[in-house]
Amino acid sequence: MCRTPPARDPRSMAPVIEVTDLRKSYGGRAAVDGVSFAVEEGEIFGILGPNGAGKTTTVECVEGLRVPDAGRVRVAGLDPVADQEQVARVLGAQLQQSELQPKLTVREALELYAAFYPRPADWRPLAERLGLTPKLDSRFARLSGGQQQRLFIALALIGDPRIVVLDELTTGLDPRARRDTWHLIEDVRTSGVTVLLVTHFMEEAQRLCDRIAVIDKGQVAALDTPTGLIRRSAGATVVSFTPSAPLAEPDLYALPALASVEHRDGRITLTGTDETVNAVISLLARHHVTAHQLRVTDATLDDAFLDLTKEEAV
């Protein structure tokens, strides 16, 4: 969209974002407590976590909006606080809560933000790609939620950044507008921009992200690809069926790698692994029980997230 994709293999380069043992407290309470991760050039890196987990504080330290109490943050090799002006030239940001003056038109907003940068991207093709051209003379207050989000993406990209931070970008959007925004994020990455995406939508993270850091209680609970996180789930495979005859509970609970058993309206749902699926099929055959409406599905990122962030028993 703006930048030319890097010609070099990203694996041969230093990480474009490095966060090491980041710590930040408010009123004696640790919001971020030793967070570390690295983002490679050209990837979409996701940050997931429950409300209050420390996600936004972490990215605000990356953006230079907050000063860490301890730890090290580098963006393209620069300190976001000490080198704020240089970082602003390589990093664009869409904040979790963003507003513009209600009477400001789309054109005025784009021209204003372009004036902040010594070498901004041409906002006209940017507006065209984001579907904003027909709305250039519309005031901000008259835009739909999806149109406002598109404008914020444009404003985050108008400085022709190397990196863009998108914090809860699709919150409040309807399903169609959310999926349209996903396509835009994929286009942004294809254009050569590294994306740091903060979200609480599991489907969004699973669809878009190359790697994900799950932050819980101010710490990194896991860092992996979406597939890798799902494989860590206690129940990586789900099998459900309605048996033609009852199955003994001890037989079900003796199944290997079983994570859970659920009964609802005569239907049995088991979570486990492929080994569990093979064993339950053998069990049905031994007892001459037919499995009606048998379904076998992989676990989702939702399942992995719930496993990783479950509350400790009191």
CA distances (Å), 237 to each of 72, 274, 277, in order? Answer: 39, 6, 8
Looking at residue 103, its pLDDT comes to 95
Kindly report the number of other CB atoms within 10 A of residue 13's CB atom: 12
Measured between its terminal Cα atoms, the distance across the chain in Å is 51
Question: What are the two backbone dihedrals, phi and then psi, of residue 166, each rounded to the nearest 5 degrees?
Answer: -120, 115
Distances (CA, A) of 22 to 35, 66, 70, 88: 5, 12, 6, 20
161-187 tens-digit pLDDT: 999 999 887 776 778 878 888 888 898
Q: What is the reported pTM?
A: 0.77
The pLDDT of residue 144 is 87
Question: How much is the pLDDT for 96?
Answer: 67
DSSP 251: H
8 Å CB contact between 50 and 81: no
- The pLDDT assigned to 9 comes to 46
pLDDT at 257: 87
SS3 for 221?
strand
User: pLDDT per residue over 15-54, tens digit each?
Assistant: 999 999 999 999 989 999 999 999 999 999 999 988 889 9
What pLDDT sits at residue 234?
59
- Domains of the chain, earliest start first: 17-230 (3.40.50.300), 234-298 (3.30.70.980)
Residue partners of 49: CB distance under 8 A and separation at least 6: 55, 200, 214, 215, 216, 309
**Segments of the chain with pLDDT less than 50:** 2-12, 312-314
Q: Note the pLDDT of residue 201.
A: 86
Q: What is the pLDDT of residue 235?
A: 60
What is the predicted pLDDT for the residue at 137?
A: 96
